[in-house]
Amino acid sequence: MTSFTIADNELNNVKDQVVIITGLATLRRVIKHGGNVFASDVNPLPEPEASSVPFMKVNVTSWKEQLEMFKAAEQQYGKIDHVFANAGILPTISLLEDDVDENGDLLPPKLDTVNVNFTGCMYTVKLGIHYIKKNPNGGSIVMAASASSFMRFPRTDYTTAKHAVLGLLRSLHSQLYPKLPIRINAIAPSWTDTGIIPRGAIAVIGQEKFQSADVVARSVVILMADKERHGELIHSERGRFMDLENGEKGYNAFTKKMLEMKEGEELSESGALKGSVGMNNTGEAAATVA
């Protein structure tokens, strides 16, 4: 996987585009390049953004609240070009807990992190597809995955949810562009200095291992601005970017090599090889991974 850089002028294609965003760094980066933003979060925007950016308080686990936010964004701007599904929280449970109720019976695991980091993401993606389909020029969806989407990271619910985001990217890839004018991509940042990381944790891990939130924002905006990017998973680490999913050195190519698959072969739902080029699991035509 070859690393690449992202220059400021590569992000200028978001000019005049309408972007639904959760995340301050990406919001600022889009505005810097002339884009229009509709923001949502459970926390209010700081100034100066609070005075100039349309905003709605939204809990992403609520379908109703997300739906109302998309309606408001469309009413505000008349269209939606891009969506950044970025809401997330820290780990909640490990499954090793022995917490019990008043009868001494084991309690079910709390699903807060799974609900925010994955279910909320699914809600955003479904709404994004619906609203971007109305746009004659199409657009894109970017999801927040993580380095823990493809690496072993001992935070049970967080890592599980982020693996699921990668699964969502892989499953939707061939169902969207070019069948629909909607590209879907994801970002997979390494350690990043954001509001959800406690300052004490940064001190323990080491500030030198963290990248700024703007590094990640660049990876988000390039996926919106570059119309050739579809099905990518961009990993960022202190200013270095890599697409881990596509290309000859991407995960898909390596998987096919490990399974000794021939050119044009795909996997069926049962894992058996399919010899038909470009056929999906229902027998309909589908694009193969480059």
Q: What is the pLDDT of residues 75-87, one digit of tens each?
A: 999 999 999 999 9
Q: What is the mean pLDDT of residues 277-287?
A: 39
Residue 56 clears pLDDT 70, i.e. is over it: yes
Residue 140 clears pLDDT 60, i.e. is over it: yes
Q: What is the mean pLDDT of residues 43-68?
A: 97
pLDDT of residue 239: 79
Q: Report the distance separating Cα 212 and Cα 209, nearest Å.
A: 10
- Worst-scoring range by mean pLDDT, 58-67, 166-175, 204-213? 204-213
* In the chain, % of residues over pLDDT 70: 84
pLDDT of residue 168: 98
The separation between the first and the last C-alpha atoms of the chain, rounded to the nearest angstrom, is: 14
Cβ-based neighbour number of residue 127 at 10 Å: 22
Q: What single-letter DSSP state applies at residue 13?
A: G
Residue 130 clears pLDDT 80, i.e. is over it: yes
Residue 287 clears pLDDT 50, i.e. is over it: no
197: confidence class by pLDDT, cuts 50, 70, 90: low
Mean pLDDT taken over the chain: 88
**Which is more confident, 262 or 196?**
262
Q: Report the distance separating Cα 19 and Cα 67, nearest Å.
A: 15
The number of C-alpha atoms within 13 Å of 212 and in the hemisphere containing its C-beta is: 8
Residue 289 clears pLDDT 90, i.e. is over it: no
pLDDT of residue 265: 72
Asked if residues 27 and 43 have their Cβ atoms less than 8 Å apart, the reply is no
238: confidence class by pLDDT, cuts 50, 70, 90: confident
Burial environment of residue 253 by CB neighbours within 10 A (0 to 12, 13 to 18, 19 or more): middle
**Which is more confident, 242 or 266?**
242
The structural domains of the chain, with segments of one domain joined by +, span 2-259
- pLDDT tens profile 151-183: 999 999 999 999 999 999 999 999 999 999 999
pLDDT of residue 281: 41
19: confidence class by pLDDT, cuts 50, 70, 90: very high
- pLDDT tens profile 256-280: 888 888 766 766 554 544 543 443 4
Q: What is residue 250's three-state secondary structure?
A: coil
Q: What is the mean pLDDT of residues 277-290?
A: 37
pLDDT of residue 280: 40
pTM of the model: 0.87
Q: What is the largest CA-CA distance in the chain?
A: 63
Q: What is residue 3's three-state secondary structure?
A: strand
Domain 2-259 is found in CATH 3.40.50.720: yes
